[in-house]
Amino acid sequence: MQAFCEATQQLIDREKHLFWETAEANKEAVEKLAADHKALEERVWQILQQSLSLSSEEASVSALKSAVKAINLEEEQDQLWKQRCRTPPAWRPSEWKKRHDEVLQKLVNGRMDNQSSPTGDQVNQSSIQADIQSMGRQLKKDLQWVVEKVKNCYPPEMDICNFYARQYHQTFSARLKKIADFVLDDKDCSFLLRWVKEFYPGDLMIYIDRVLDEAKKEWDQGKEPTRDDGCYASPVAYDVIQVELYQNFHEDIIKQNKPHSKAFIKANLSCVEQFRDFLVDRNLFPEDVRENCLPVLTEMKQSAYTYLLTPVHKILKPHYKKVGTSDWLKKNTFEKLLNSTEEELQQLQGSSQSSYQELIGQLHQEVTEEYVRRLLKGEVKLKDSNQQQKAYETVKENAEKLHELFGSKQDWLKEILTKIAEVLKLQDIPAIQMQIVSLGSCHQYEFQLLLYLKQN
């Protein structure tokens, strides 16, 4: 039997003696220990690479058990070194647990790349159909092996079945997505849809529930989602979302409003956006499924916007109150609003670029609406042409600066404020009436909004 656990413990004992119990480590002893450590590590990875092709012999199973224990011992030693103030040896941290995950991920990719030979019932299938069926057969065979043999070699806390299920799902779904990107004939397309809709989801639903449970557990524990290129990434792949379950998770995050909820909502925004694009752009879903899912995704997106933007308006409220007052005609008041808005824009970053642009576009519109509402209810009275000209210049300049700050593509928001500015400098009633008619015809929907704001 290959006693990897015992060998690892012996190396750790030698390491502790050399680096913790002696004043100065002997160079030759350190070099020998490093060589032994590297040799043992290579043997451990060799055993891991055989995980899905173990023989049923007790010695083979025991070797994998021992290798897993060795990995956990190394992980513990890494943690112990973090607590010490001394300089660690070159192989610390060894990060065997991280390497373990990488080795198994490559193992799964390799198994799906080299499936078993086609069976007799695949003779009349196209190459695409045969490939999908072979991958599905390999996936089922390997996961059964994990449950029957590999699971017993791991401690429960490593949750190895779920780990393998996640790796196989990600690999298989990525390959199905690549296949779907090709222009398929009707027969291949029907075969793919049948796999996605009938065969694969049966086992996949169990995995989806586990993924959502895991994501919720991380949120409950206060962990923030990971970042990808500076943006929060959803803990749930968009292609495994059950919309209703994911909506419940999304609503729980908003309702409980924990300190890290904002990060999860930003990640969810990106996920919802990707899933919506996937739903609309791919002809993999029936019309009734799209009709049922799209309103839910729209509702989730809007609730996320409300959750993220409501605190922003709360912070900006004192500055809104100045709009339409005598202080507002002084530049400093609006500059304070701009500065506060810019600071809040930085706090909103963290979602994907497209999600962020849409989010700040929404904020741009809401800030403009609030600006107009305050302006139309303002206390300042424009009694002469000088004040009217000053108000015109102020609103026009405010419109330019808001547009520049948000970098928004919504030019109509700037146009609305510019038209209002032109109305403010008019002195005779007929001219004002003509300008309002012009404004209404150019921006009928937007002008109705402004009239609503004025009435409320």
pLDDT of residue 309: 92
The residue length of the chain stands at 456
pLDDT of residue 6: 92
Number of Cβ atoms within 10 Å of the Cβ of 69: 19
pLDDT of residue 100: 95
**Burial category of 379 from C-beta neighbours within 10 Å (exposed 0-12, middle 13-18, buried 19 and up):** exposed
CA distance 368 to 364: 6
Q: Are 135 and 113 in contact (CB under 8 A)?
A: no
CA distance 357 to 353: 6
pLDDT of residue 43: 93
CA distance 425 to 244: 53
**Distance of CA 234 to CAs 83, 206, 346, 349, Å?**
32, 19, 20, 15
Q: Give the closest residue to 164 by CA, choosing from 142, 183, 181.
A: 142
CA distance 373 to 452: 9
pLDDT of residue 103: 95
Which DSSP letter does residue 374 get? H
Domain boundaries, the chain: 4-102, 120-221, 316-455
CA distance 7 to 12: 9
Q: What is the mean pLDDT of each run of 10 residues along the chain (456 residues)?
A: 84 88 82 93 93 77 92 92 83 92 94 71 74 86 89 90 88 81 73 66 57 76 77 59 69 85 84 74 66 84 91 90 84 85 85 83 90 77 80 89 84 84 67 55 50 46
Six token digits for residue 363 = 């904020």
pLDDT of residue 454: 44
Six token digits for residue 75 = 């992980």
pLDDT of residue 203: 54
CA distance 286 to 15: 62
Please write the tens of the pLDDT for every residue from 136-186. 888 888 988 998 889 989 998 888 988 998 898 888 888 877 887 776 777
